[in-house]
């Protein structure tokens, strides 16, 4: 069971966690104002599951409809529908029991009195041990200039529409206010609708509770078990680390905890490729000697070399 999240309190709703997000993706019949603030967005994904999240401005019942692409393309009918009791605020649900290596379509429908709101139809493709070739997107520092962020997102949608996931390398927003996050989710809406959207922590998120509340991330460790994380997609092992733990309260203990977790995780990984994401670079061509952060480099580089990490993304 996941928890239903709402700013200020936590409640249980039908054994499923819910989050309500972008109104821009929903078109209603004549009636009241669309209750969706943003969403639906995709999050953590695996061989038999994916997380779907959204954010609602008022208490509304939600139906999550989904089907394999093959079935929906041939019949235009949803194979399964999950129904959630009325809820308000941020929510996420783990859509599970899916087939590995399979493309699905999904849609959220909200019924409210005599008005119905339906999202655009999104899609996703689950992982499989047989998945050997796929593309994924990486970018970051989206905190400023939403118009420029939107240009980048539009370009990714146009040139890499087949990407199976996207990772933001931190500093999603200038500061973790509701307004800035609302703008952020408005920009990524079309992308996150059909591309599982993951992130690592930047210094501008400050480890704020809204970061964990708004983003359904893979499991790992630290705060909410999402401060650092890892998962496999096909023949690639993805790992996200928190490069901000060198400062702040309990920094030494938290970094030691993360280091031990990273060592164990990478040592037990049998994937063909290993890819690691974090916010602060350990190398940079703009720094004397090329070392951007000696503290992180001395701690992390030996682990990456010993465990044959293939690519680092900042």
Dihedral angle sign, alpha carbons of residues 302, 304, 310, 312 = negative
Nearest alpha carbon to residue 196 among 235, 168, 234, 158: 168
What the block records as the tokens of 247 is 């400062």
Q: What is the CATH number for 297?
A: 3.60.21.10
Nearest alpha carbon to residue 214 among 11, 17, 15, 13: 17
Statement to judge: residues 185 and 219 lie in one domain = yes
Which of 96, 125, 154 lies at the terminal end of a domain, its last residue?
125
Statement to judge: residues 33 and 84 lie in one domain = yes
Statement to judge: residues 186 and 85 lie in one domain = no
Confidence bin at 114 (pLDDT 50/70/90) = confident
pLDDT digit string, tens, across residues 202-221 = 999 878 999 999 999 999 99
Nearest alpha carbon to residue 216 among 36, 55, 67: 55
Under DSSP, the state recorded for 291 is: B
pTM above 0.85, yes or no: yes
Among 36-40, 55-59, 180-184, 294-298, the range scoring the smallest mean pLDDT is 294-298
Q: What is the mean pLDDT of residues 92-116?
A: 93
Under DSSP, the state recorded for 225 is: G
Q: What is the mean pLDDT of residues 225-250?
A: 91
Domain of 74 in residue numbering reads as: 4-125
Q: Are 243 and 280 in contact (CB under 8 A)?
A: yes
Element housing 86 (H / E) = strand 80-96
Statement to judge: residues 256 and 193 lie in one domain = yes
Distance (Å, whole) CA 184 – CA 264: 34
Please give the tally of structural domains in the chain: 2
Higher per-residue pLDDT: 99 or 12? 99
Write down the pLDDT at residue 221.
Answer: 96
Statement to judge: residues 277 and 143 lie in one domain = yes
Statement to judge: residues 255 and 144 lie in one domain = yes
Statement to judge: residues 50 and 168 lie in one domain = no
Statement to judge: residues 88 and 207 lie in one domain = no
């Amino acid at each position: 069971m996941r928890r239903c999240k709402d700013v200020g309190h936590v409640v249980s709703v039908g054994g499923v966690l819910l989050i309500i997000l972008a109104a821009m993706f929903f078109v209603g019949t004549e009636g009241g104002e669309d209750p969706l603030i943003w969403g639906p967005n995709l999050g953590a994904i695996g061989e038999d599951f994916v997380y779907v999240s959204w954010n609602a401005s008022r208490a509304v019942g939600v139906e999550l409809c989904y089907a394999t692409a093959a079935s929906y393309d041939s019949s235009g009918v949803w194979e399964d529908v999950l129904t959630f009791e009325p809820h308000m605020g941020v929510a996420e649900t783990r859509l599970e029991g899916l087939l590995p290596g399979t493309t699905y379509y999904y849609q959220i429908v909200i019924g409210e009195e005599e008005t119905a709101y339906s999202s655009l139809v999104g899609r996703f493709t689950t992982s499989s041990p047989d998945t050997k070739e796929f593309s994924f997107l990486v970018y970051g520092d989206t905190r400023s200039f939403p118009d420029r962020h939107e240009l980048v997102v539009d370009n990714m949608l146009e040139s890499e529409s087949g990407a199976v996931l996207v990772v933001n390398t931190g500093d999603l927003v200038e500061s973790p206010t509701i307004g800035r996050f609302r703008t952020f989710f408005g920009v990524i809406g079309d992308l996150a609708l059909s591309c599982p959207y993951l992130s690592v922590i930047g210094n501008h998120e400050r480890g704020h509770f809204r970061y964990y509340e708004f983003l359904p991330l893979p499991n790992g460790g630290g705060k909410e078990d999402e401060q650092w994380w890892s998962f496999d997609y096909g023949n690639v092992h993805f790992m996200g680390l928190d490069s901000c733990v060198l400062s702040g309260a309990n920094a030494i203990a938290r970094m030691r905890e993360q280091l031990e977790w990273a060592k164990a995780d990478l040592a037990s990984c049998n994937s063909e490729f290993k890819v690691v994401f974090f916010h602060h670079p350990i190398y940079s061509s703009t720094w004397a000697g090329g070392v951007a952060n000696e503290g992180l480099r001395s701690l992390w580089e030996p682990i990456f070399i010993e465990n044959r990490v293939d690519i680092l993304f900042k």
